[in-house]
Amino acid sequence: MSHYNVAVLGPIPRDHITTHHGEVIEKYGCAMHTAIGLSRLLEGKGQVHLVSHVRKQDIDEIKAILADFPNINTDFIRSEADQGDVIRLRFVDQNNRIEKQTGFMNPIVPSDLDGLMHCNAFVCVPISDYEVPIHTLQHIKANSSGVIIFDAHGPTNTVTTLGDRMLKFWIDRDEWLPYIDVLKMNLEESNCCWFDKEIDETKLKPFDENDISHLPAFAEHAIRHGLKSLIVTLDSSGSAVFYEDRNEVHQQVVKAIRVDHVVDTTGCGDSFAGGLGFGLLGRADDYVRAVKFANALGAQRTQGRTFDVFKSLEETEQQIIKEYGSL
């Protein structure tokens, strides 16, 4: 593998987490998971450039944590505006949580990326609808050949004036699609992305975690509007991968990597995105392979509360081969 450069764009929130067992954890999250998981896979093979805005009171601790990972470049983490995400999460069960947000980072704008257009991949992991705006993706697409991976967690979530983090429809979805190569989301977020032009009020209903019937039509639409691949995580069932080959949209489900005991699921989606970014380096159209690496990093994230859970490339490849039989 050649020397690669990967940019990770997203918040580094100060998370206050109460697990469904009642344990309290405080740590930095989101893009930290993405960057550190990537850095372990790229040891001796590439560099990760972490792009974010944080509070002044947090930047020294963040950089001290990242100093343990010498291939993470922290020059693009800025605190001049003294604004960063602050979030409280209370898990009601292993996968579902109630969130409050009381601090807000500045959006990542094109000027924040000066000097990064040479990157082979841009992994964007916003958690709210303002953090990585569309004009930033347009700038990357116009000035770089790097693959753009985008997490729909951003545009499908907003914050109310009471600090409640809430799901919302991604109404202007089609404006974004031409500037995204690989769109990643979970099943609940996919319901925020596929909707009728005018919704029959009687069809508005709570999320059904077993209903995936809308995914093929959504994937067909998204790929015809510019995506190269749509990837929807299905919790323990794995991930649905949609991509175009010979003018036809294909679907494949990649099973999840089994873990015996789950300690903490916070950051699994962010870690998954990092695995996608790594898996597409040099193999930009092998989406199934990329999802294997994504599933591996997501599984690793569940195994502890610190960043020590992330494994080297050799260990991760062994994990993948054990589960799938091949990379």
pLDDT score for 200: 80
Distance CA 148, CA 52 (A): 17
Closest of 220, 221, 132, 233 to residue 189, by C-alpha: 233
Distance CA 318, CA 195 (A): 41
Q: What are residue 270's phi and psi, to 5 degrees?
A: -65, -40
Residue 179, CA distances (Å) to 59, 129, 143, 195, 322 in order = 31, 16, 12, 21, 36
- Listed by start position, the domains of the chain span 33-49+117-195+215-324
pLDDT score for 2: 60
pLDDT score for 264: 84
Residue ranges of E strands in 107-228: 121-124, 147-151, 157-159, 165-167, 182-186
Q: Would you state the CATH architecture of domain 33-49+117-195+215-324?
A: 3-Layer(aba) Sandwich (3.40)
pTM, full prediction: 0.95
pLDDT score for 172: 97
C-beta of residue 239 within 8 angstroms of C-beta of residue 212: no
Instruction: Give average pLDDT by consecutive 10-residue segment, the chain, 327 residues.
Output: 89 90 88 98 97 97 98 98 93 85 96 98 97 98 98 97 95 98 97 87 79 95 98 95 95 95 91 98 95 98 95 98 95
pLDDT score for 240: 98
